[in-house]
Structure 1
């Protein structure tokens, strides 16, 4: 008992929180103190409970020290000590009970039970602003909001853990010493009122203009949202009447209505999966689910034969929610996951068109890549012409971006391809192969096949682009020599281009950064297409009276189909082109040494330099260093964009690939047994692809 006696000595200490001991806290309990001081007392008590135990401060008979394996949590051991002291000193127990009554008796418990953890507004942006404000601005204990006080009292990450570990005996002692009939009745009534408030909020959001049209009409036939609010009001009435049997029946009926409302809310997700995702709607759906869960928890507290346990669980969940309410990362990762999934799925649907699985498709990709290289050859020379105009950095980058964007769109309209755009679009298609990897060797082999399909498709695209763009640019340079006696690119510009492209230097870093831009363009494409589908722009083009009058009925239908099929590619091509031109100019404005290195454009610049410098360039090391950088540039363009897109696809599905070692082993085995399958179509892979269901 030595430690116990030491703990009750001393007087009031007004220093740092760490200097407060139990004796000081008990002596400071004053129900007549101003509200901020009473709330601050409760915060100090929580801080004392969490304070680490020193070696000279054993708090229980076991002598266990803080941090020992299997030791009781520090907060629980300190709580037991406080209960021991209060049981031995009834005058302290009376003061503490009066203090708690003065705190909780003057605050509206419904602000904690019905409002805490939920956004007062329905928008994702408003919730982000609220969390940012909470993180940047300090809170005050001078508050009438029990939810805000709750956040200040249980502010530590470990609070939920020790609340969950409280044993039955400690709970009973805590209730007997610190709670009286008045407080119990107050919290019971607050729970009933909170159920009614939450039911009204669920009805309001569930029947709002943004949610109601997306609910399954069959699930609304019995008007469950209206009935939910009415049933909650009836529960309040029977509770006031004191009819225990009627209250239990009403709770059972309320739970049945909650289950129906949940099914209706879940149908919103099905609608979003088909018709596009809105982050605000996803946020509202999640809030509805959380309010339904809160009602369930409160109903458990109201009808349980052991309500202390249910209140304990509810308080622990609320304490866990304190950390969630402060986390901006949790808000983004949670509510953007569905949008990321939809972006990945839309990219996956597009990406299927960029994966070749047999020799005929591989040769077709090579042909289309040659067509893309033909267009990029003109893009390369226009880039030199824009540079020769002597524009300012921004306008030079802007017009270069316009040049790239127009060229990429032209490649799309001609049904050709630019190789490095493929991996960012194909990675989500591959990610779908991983969903069944965990339990199937066949799924692993299927995934390895898909990797082989993708890599050799990239090789075909890069070969087609490079082997076309460089010779065509060189041919145009030679034609310019014949027609005007001078090349299209000056010697100084040609030397400068080669100097920038050499392998020793920042070329590889710039190539990796270009992979980031390639990934960003695929992300933008998914976002734009999702918005296009969500807002039903294709339907507006097809049926809007103004469009029909302007285009005619049949042409409006064709335009709608074309835009629906092309919007993703247009968004990807235009955004990529603009970023390739403008991002380096903006980076230079901020003094950042960032440029882009696109394998096809780089190959075209080397061809242009060779056309200007002639055979002499073949004797200069700078030329061959530039040529040596081309395959590595292409590899980094592909690899970085693919890995980023693949990571997005995995995150969007919430997958944790536990079978990575098996995947790596399968890839290594394929490299040993059939290395050629990663370069061009082999007979075995063609047979496997033919045996699978149609992919496209």
Structure 2
């Protein structure tokens, strides 16, 4: 039995144009006036949006050349649906940040993607929403050859955008959009938080005010002149470009000063919006310049293409998030890079000092492991356990930080930024295979061995401290605190009997987040001048004296970001398991140092009667947990640092080759400080480059 399916024949441009604009002129009788245009664009739109794919309109152009009546009706139709359509809001608002509240803007854009905002039907935005409704429509229209667009423009006899200055005309809408943008810029640039970023302009006239005045003068000339445009050799136009550069300089200086004064997300959004509005003004002003008759036609075509693109990109979430967070991520990674430099050893003395610090960190973690087992016996709610565990971790991590000890897994998030800082400073910009690459490989070896010795110190100390602690409690109180819990402690370390790897990855994410918190707190305090405000606090100076108040301010500046970071890391570590229980999900965290302590507790709790296989998987699991902790936190931090500095991932190719070559020639240098003084001078050269 054969089944036959009738398929609808594929529409062609000629057939569609004949149907709507042929002798029957059916476009005049359609219920939806936009239906012919929607169908025509759907026919032109590529099915797959491949790169470098030219969108060819030659079939349509050839048909229109041969069919005068269709060409005439299409021209009438397009002019009819575009007549007196307002579009100044597209030029002044679309694809420009609308709200300085980051979260609100993200939510608004996501909601608009799901349920698009529909403007009034008499606006051009309504037409574009209905016709070019796909996000990638702004991409393929750029692939239409300009020569074909020019040919269509002439065939359909579109009028120049400079012919009329009447209300709702193209020129009128352009000038209204310029007015709106420049007035918004001038007001936003006068915000207190924005001005604070550029004290260099305190005694100077605002470049935005001068720019606004000059632009209004040019607009008056255009409106009152017969030709309604200016030429590129116009002196007023040259002056306007100079003032525009000064405005751009103001914004760039404010962004540059963020390293000196810090920057908040709100101020970042203010500056980002001003920059976007200046870019939009640059485009609009360029449309006022005409040097030949060809420019009149091309400016009209360019305006049409930009209107489509702006409307398509107005709800783009990815680009908005990327632009909004790049500078902040840069400032955060700058802080973590400075902190990370302290975690990188060079000499043998620094190497063993790191080992001593790691031993101290392991000592405190060993105590925390015992305290957590004791807290687990408290009869309380999920929230109660989450609170108790979180406080145990938080105060333990803060103690490690304040005493100058080292928690190994906190290093990767810091040292990743330090590595990228070396790239940014030009270590890899002077050719392939040069001494710079070799010096950087030596630098990476220093980072790696610093991580290695910190892991060793933590694990070596946490195990005996936990074992000694549980023995002392059992000896004096005759109570083995792990007698009923040892099996759980051991199974949780095994990568084949539990989700240890997944839980270690969660811990890696939290390690990364703690680094972000540290950098963001330091950046926020710098922007709000917290240190200066403490140093100059009248009550503190009067009661403690100027010197002690200054010492307090410096101590706050040096330690507070780290304290907050460690506190939140403790909250993350302590509350994850309880949140998982509450939600019915298998969530928990695994950390290499705590794994070492828990192994000791499990062995004692089982009275050392553990199978060889379980012991093997426990020890192997500790190493695997440490590797996952390191890889997740380091890769996330590395990705953030790369993005914040706009460094191409292509650089990694040369870096990886140089590091691998260095490892083959000197593998021990990745674990012990074996470099000679000649290499140390290379590192110094890298540091100063």
Question: Do the two structures share a fold, i.e. TM-score over 0.5?
Answer: yes
**CA 1:262/1:8 → structure 2, altered by over 3 Å: closer, same or farther?**
closer
Q: Establish whether residue 388 from structure 1 lines up as the match of residue 377 from structure 2.
A: yes
Q: How big is each residue's C-alpha offset from its partner over 1:343-388, in whole Å with a ceiling of 9 and x where there is no partner?
A: 1111111111111111110000011111111212221111011011
**CA 1:115/1:683 → structure 2, altered by over 3 Å: closer, same or farther?**
closer
1:356 maps to what in 2? 345
Aligned counterparts of 1:481 and 1:71: Cα–Cα separation in 2: 75
Quick check: 128-137 or 354-363, which moved more? 128-137
The 5-angstrom pairing of residues 339-354 of structure 1 reads 339-354=328-343
State the 1:421 CA deviation.
1.1
2:81 maps to what in 1? 103
SS in 1 for 2:288: helix
1:165 maps to what in 2? 144
Q: Establish whether residue 207 from structure 1 lines up as the match of residue 193 from structure 2.
A: no
Q: Establish whether residue 153 from structure 1 lines up as the match of residue 131 from structure 2.
A: yes
**CA 1:525/1:79 → structure 2, altered by over 3 Å: closer, same or farther?**
farther
Q: Establish whether residue 261 from structure 1 lines up as the match of residue 236 from structure 2.
A: no
The 5-angstrom pairing of residues 536-547 of structure 1 reads 536-547=529-540
**Which residue of the other structure, out of 545, 561, 567, is the alignment partner of 2:554?**
561
2:27 maps to what in 1? 28
1:15 maps to what in 2? none
**Which residue of the other structure, out of 663, 668, 671, is the alignment partner of 2:660?**
668
Aligned counterparts of 1:152 and 1:465: Cα–Cα separation in 2: 62
Contact 1:401–1:581 (CA<8 Å) still a contact in 2? yes
Q: Establish whether residue 462 from structure 1 lines up as the match of residue 455 from structure 2.
A: yes
1:521 maps to what in 2? 514
**CA 1:175/1:464 → structure 2, altered by over 3 Å: closer, same or farther?**
same
Aligned counterparts of 2:280 and 2:510: Cα–Cα separation in 1: 43
Q: How big is each residue's C-alpha offset from its partner over 1:616-673, in whole Å with a ceiling of 9 and x where there is no partner?
A: 4366543343233222222222222112111111111111232434333323222222
SS in 2 for 1:422: helix
Contact 2:55–2:145 (CA<8 Å) still a contact in 1? no
- The alignment's TM-score, normalised by the length of structure 2, stands at 0.87
Contact 1:110–1:194 (CA<8 Å) still a contact in 2? yes
**CA 1:694/1:233 → structure 2, altered by over 3 Å: closer, same or farther?**
closer
**Which residue of the other structure, out of 263, 267, 287, is the alignment partner of 1:281?**
267
Contact 1:405–1:578 (CA<8 Å) still a contact in 2? yes
**CA 1:302/1:654 → structure 2, altered by over 3 Å: closer, same or farther?**
same
1:73 maps to what in 2? 55
1:290 maps to what in 2? 276
Quick check: 217-226 or 305-314, which moved more? 217-226
Q: Establish whether residue 504 from structure 1 lines up as the match of residue 496 from structure 2.
A: yes
Aligned counterparts of 1:41 and 1:663: Cα–Cα separation in 2: 56
- The alignment's TM-score, normalised by the length of structure 1, stands at 0.86
State the 1:115 CA deviation.
3.2
**Which residue of the other structure, out of 291, 294, 298, is the alignment partner of 1:309?**
298
The 5-angstrom pairing of residues 11-160 of structure 1 reads 11=19, 23=22, 27-29=26-28, 37-39=32-34, 41-50=36-45, 73-74=55-56, 76-81=57-62, 83-84=64-65, 88-89=68-69, 95-140=73-118, 142-156=120-134, 157-160=136-139
Contact 2:230–2:288 (CA<8 Å) still a contact in 1? no
**CA 1:338/1:639 → structure 2, altered by over 3 Å: closer, same or farther?**
same
Contact 1:38–1:99 (CA<8 Å) still a contact in 2? no
State the 1:187 CA deviation.
1.6
Aligned counterparts of 2:129 and 2:469: Cα–Cα separation in 1: 71
2:401 maps to what in 1? 412
State the 1:551 CA deviation.
4.7
Contact 2:525–2:531 (CA<8 Å) still a contact in 1? yes
1:635 maps to what in 2? 627
Structure 1 residue ranges without an equivalent (≥5): 13-21, 53-65
Q: Establish whether residue 325 from structure 1 lines up as the match of residue 325 from structure 2.
A: no
Aligned counterparts of 1:460 and 1:376: Cα–Cα separation in 2: 16
State the 1:581 CA deviation.
0.8
Quick check: 101-110 or 421-430, which moved more? 101-110
Contact 2:436–2:686 (CA<8 Å) still a contact in 1? no
Contact 1:529–1:568 (CA<8 Å) still a contact in 2? yes
**Which residue of the other structure, out of 634, 645, 666, is the alignment partner of 2:637?**
645
Contact 1:251–1:299 (CA<8 Å) still a contact in 2? no
Q: How big is each residue's C-alpha offset from its partner over 1:103-137, in whole Å with a ceiling of 9 and x where there is no partner?
A: 33332232233333324444434432331232121
Aligned counterparts of 1:469 and 1:184: Cα–Cα separation in 2: 82
Aligned counterparts of 2:60 and 2:322: Cα–Cα separation in 1: 36
**CA 1:510/1:173 → structure 2, altered by over 3 Å: closer, same or farther?**
closer
Quick check: 463-472 or 623-632, which moved more? 623-632
State the 1:171 CA deviation.
1.6
Aligned counterparts of 1:24 and 1:595: Cα–Cα separation in 2: 73
State the 1:332 CA deviation.
0.8
SS in 2 for 1:302: coil
State the 1:10 CA deviation.
6.2
**CA 1:243/1:210 → structure 2, altered by over 3 Å: closer, same or farther?**
farther
1:55 maps to what in 2? none
Aligned counterparts of 1:10 and 1:617: Cα–Cα separation in 2: 89
State the 1:11 CA deviation.
4.7
Contact 2:90–2:311 (CA<8 Å) still a contact in 1? no
**CA 1:29/1:684 → structure 2, altered by over 3 Å: closer, same or farther?**
farther
Structure 2 residue ranges without an equivalent (≥5): 1-10
How many residues are paired up?
662
Q: How big is each residue's C-alpha offset from its partner over 1:177-211, in whole Å with a ceiling of 9 and x where there is no partner?
A: 34247984222333233333322222122222332
**CA 1:129/1:148 → structure 2, altered by over 3 Å: closer, same or farther?**
farther
**Which residue of the other structure, out of 4, 9, 15, is the alignment partner of 1:7?**
15
Contact 1:618–1:624 (CA<8 Å) still a contact in 2? no
State the 1:610 CA deviation.
3.3
**CA 1:397/1:96 → structure 2, altered by over 3 Å: closer, same or farther?**
same
Contact 2:514–2:569 (CA<8 Å) still a contact in 1? yes
State the 1:536 CA deviation.
2.0
State the 1:98 CA deviation.
4.5
| Bigger helix fraction | 1
C-alpha RMSD over aligned residues: 3.3
Aligned counterparts of 2:214 and 2:314: Cα–Cα separation in 1: 30
The 5-angstrom pairing of residues 575-586 of structure 1 reads 575-586=568-579
State the 1:691 CA deviation.
5.4
Contact 2:440–2:686 (CA<8 Å) still a contact in 1? no
Aligned counterparts of 2:401 and 2:15: Cα–Cα separation in 1: 78
Aligned counterparts of 1:224 and 1:582: Cα–Cα separation in 2: 52
Quick check: 588-597 or 316-325, which moved more? 316-325
**Which residue of the other structure, out of 566, 571, 589, is the alignment partner of 1:573?**
566
Aligned counterparts of 1:286 and 1:278: Cα–Cα separation in 2: 12
Aligned counterparts of 2:225 and 2:356: Cα–Cα separation in 1: 82
Contact 2:335–2:519 (CA<8 Å) still a contact in 1? yes
Q: Establish whether residue 179 from structure 1 lines up as the match of residue 158 from structure 2.
A: yes
